[in-house]
Structure 1
């Protein structure tokens, strides 16, 4: 009754589901002797069996789950782990490697209306009901508009979630903004291009097929005859705009494999992340730089959750970790250089082949880190289980408890 309300701030249930499944499958791999990779490989839906309808009615349309696991294992030098583990042992350290292979449902059925307007000065405004909170939506939306209208990005204004100007919207969440929003932006841009060409064709007295949009002008192909977008807007009887809502009937299913390698100092319980490999299938990539930033940020959050973050109350309900002096978050110096790769297979349920990526880093991170920690403790000290977060005190206590138990025997 004393605790404050809680809510998901990234991932919305996906990290928890993947964590439970991947910790269980890892334990099963150990107990059956199949190992981490083989037990997963036997249980993957084979690429040749896609599209595949699951027992709960999900339609996995495209993917190659064993393919990205194999690529991640190669990037992580999985086969060379034992040599690295031996080197760590010689230095008095425990070393572990762990993986997580996930799939998630994103961009649930529905759509996101987009309106692309031509302004009197030749610039363009997008009105859409998503809301950015750091993902770079304006850049991604702007790229598509710029390509369709032959404009520079700085001449495109993106208005998101402004209820004074946007008549409806589904908001941001569940990796829906780009997969659902971008196809609508693309089609709305095409609709506006058609209206612009209709007006320009009248002014230039040519056919639509003779026109192209370049650098803020509508030009007759192969000539120097042109009219600016500002002039087209000025001569139109009313504001020119394109408005579309591309609807999707099935979710998209991004998926991937994360592999973490850690080293533990048994004298302090400290866990250091020595290597981290990510191979994801996001379908069509819109902006590789923004994509990698999304994945790195999410993975950093997951590592922080796995190794640091813990809310502590005393017996009377008083919060003891009430500030960042007491509540630990991961810092940049604690993170490795992420090896991020993609092995993309376009979605067939999305109009542009996009699968979504917003939560991906958080989903693969916790289980891969904890599976690596568990292997290090199991091989190094015979510890059977440790819960997240694997803080230094919790790891040290688990090692001491196992050593004490072995001593009493």
Structure 2
């Protein structure tokens, strides 16, 4: 079945209400903290108060004798039990051919701590209160060292790791530097831009949580954890850290309250609880408190870049040259190394026919929390840089922001970019046209005049983004350094009465998979959506899968389910042919019925399902009983969602307050399964991206390494009244290489919105002479920029 045929099926394109919402809205969801096991103990971690220090001694005697304490574990216990450090899942090779520097990442610090919040001691007690009280009794003698937190200070700063005395992890590049340099030499105009992509704290609604459990009867472990890819968590923990047989460890990720990257990784706490559950012979729960989350969750973004764009006399792009310094934090998190490389630089062509691109990335260790993938993962950083410099070029050349984009849009597909990726399909002009119409760009001048009459500045900003989703294929990813496959698994189990259970290696942490995947199966089999159940998040029930991140779920996980459905249909046709006394090549299947082509003979899907399990009249000589199929799908290419976003802001020049007045988003997600769910995903992404552009900012003290934005009192999260009603539109060019025609939608809003906002702010400030501003465009920062041009 092709993508065009799939899009015409019943239930596809319908805003079916989310099946999972009843349990969530009635408090019947089961999150990790809702799970209570027998003889449950509680863990608390003693964390470093220093950004960089030697650990001279650890005294746990008072803690061990405190009431209710079961055990106190420290770095030397980890070493004695030969527990390895946390692995990095992506190997980057430097431009000189050397592998990246990969220092040990201990689950409990032994000789040194490297960021505020680093794990030092784990205290386990009968109750959470007892564990907290005992943790206060742990005495650690630190010898503070100088710290480096800003990526621009990393070179020449105090060394974090012996293996990287200059704090440099790798230098990576893509593109032909000589050709790019030559193109610059012949350019009519060169636009240059320095910019910072500010660090973010993910702040999922549900903080991280884990329960470690060990069974002496079976010598097996169970880890309950709020995680986005339980199979990968199990693989990393067993094969690389603890050396356990994989079949002896079960990882269960129950309901998970948000993640968007921050719950992809194998964290130290997960290993500590699994290890300690056997060592102490107790079930142990740890629930991250919000203050801990600010310190210990992997952060996002944090790039410092210089970009140059070469342009000819007609406003056509000739070449792009980029250098980025990427902050990796104190240790290499699971996928941290591929974010500023494979997921970033390969998107620097954007939607444009720029024939030459050269990007160079230096990655650095600093005394900060590890930095890893966060909603968009490299794609927001690439889009921000590219869309900022494109609008900057428009301002310098006296062109409108839309005109410079239209002159350079790709219009012929497939299109091979100069940075490895080949786009299969898109219609960027249609997205621009639809966005301008929906945004009423024609009325902007009148609105700008009305704002001016009230003493306000009004600006408009554009962003035409592209994203690469469904990281693929596995063999190419492996050649680029991935230490795992990037396929997905789907198992479709048809029951005798015709209802269906689907087991998927994808994982839902709020995206609505239980509804969307059920729509896919129901539309294909011609049954009710309520007759389909989706099971995920349990390595004990689900075949090996790669989880959810990078907007891969429907395009990769859904495609695996479709392949399993192909097998179901093929077998069911043979059963139906036997019952209808026809050849299976003459059997058609649609709307839940098998028919003999050219006749009125037909049979229902439910009858075929029952026959498969009650095979009294069955072709046993050629078919096994049952109707249960499994399939794995490894994509042949990325999918490429795209769109154009337009923001309008109004600024009070006396206070610097930026008010977002209008925001329009037109996206091309290919085939849309459930428009309501897609709209919700876009809204959420826009809120995160606009939050980064205007108010969110993770800040460490540059001298001491202390986290200055360690709570919601200091780290500004966006609220509903910060936003107007979003205008959402869609263009559809179905993906050409997956059976659903889908492209992914979960990250788009966070990718396209930050540059649209900042371009709008700069458009508003341009009459005053302000040419640049970094995110977040807070009132104070905007006011300072205005005062600077007045001076």
Taking structure 2 as the reference length, the TM-score comes to: 0.48
Distance 1:277 1:259 in 2: 5
Aligned residues: 400
Residue 87 of structure 1 aligns with which residue? 450
Where 2:649 maps in the other structure, the secondary structure is strand
| 2:411 aligned with 1:39 | no
Residue 414 of structure 2 aligns with which residue? 51
Distance 2:649 2:500 in 1: 50
Where 2:469 maps in the other structure, the secondary structure is coil
Cα shift at 1:402: 2.4
Distance 1:66 1:201 in 2: 49
Distance 2:562 2:737 in 1: 16
Residue 105 of structure 1 aligns with which residue? 468
Distance 1:56 1:322 in 2: 38
Residue 376 of structure 2 aligns with which residue? 11
| 2:732 aligned with 1:356 | no
Distance 1:150 1:74 in 2: 38
| 2:504 aligned with 1:128 | yes
> Is contact 2:506–2:553 with CA below 8 Å preserved after alignment?
yes
| 2:668 aligned with 1:305 | no
Call closer, same or farther: CA 1:140–1:64 in 2, change over 3 Å.
same
1:150-165 pair list within 5 angstroms: 150-165=526-541
Distance 1:341 1:377 in 2: 28
Where 2:524 maps in the other structure, the secondary structure is helix
> Is contact 1:119–1:233 with CA below 8 Å preserved after alignment?
no
Residue 30 of structure 1 aligns with which residue? 395
Distance 2:600 2:625 in 1: 30
Distance 1:69 1:78 in 2: 11
Call closer, same or farther: CA 1:214–1:300 in 2, change over 3 Å.
same
Bigger drift between 294-303 and 167-176 goes to 167-176
| 2:720 aligned with 1:332 | yes
The structure with the largest alpha-carbon Rg is: 2
Where 1:9 maps in the other structure, the secondary structure is coil
Structure with higher strand content: 2
Pick from 500, 520, 525: which aligns with 1:149?
A: 525
Residue 761 of structure 2 aligns with which residue? 373
Distance 2:571 2:423 in 1: 38
Bigger drift between 94-103 and 110-119 goes to 110-119
RMSD between superposed Cα atoms in Å: 2.5
Cα shift at 1:170: 2.0
> Is contact 2:580–2:601 with CA below 8 Å preserved after alignment?
no
Point out where structure 2 has 5 or more consecutive residues left out of the alignment: 1-50, 52-114, 116-367, 474-486, 616-623
Identify which of structures 1 and 2 has the higher relative contact order when contacts are C-alpha pairs closer than 8 Å and 6+ apart.
Answer: 1
Taking structure 1 as the reference length, the TM-score comes to: 0.90
| 2:627 aligned with 1:273 | no
Distance 1:292 1:364 in 2: 15
Call closer, same or farther: CA 1:199–1:312 in 2, change over 3 Å.
same
1:153-302 pair list within 5 angstroms: 153-199=529-575, 202=578, 228=607, 231-236=610-615, 238-302=625-689
> Is contact 2:656–2:783 with CA below 8 Å preserved after alignment?
yes
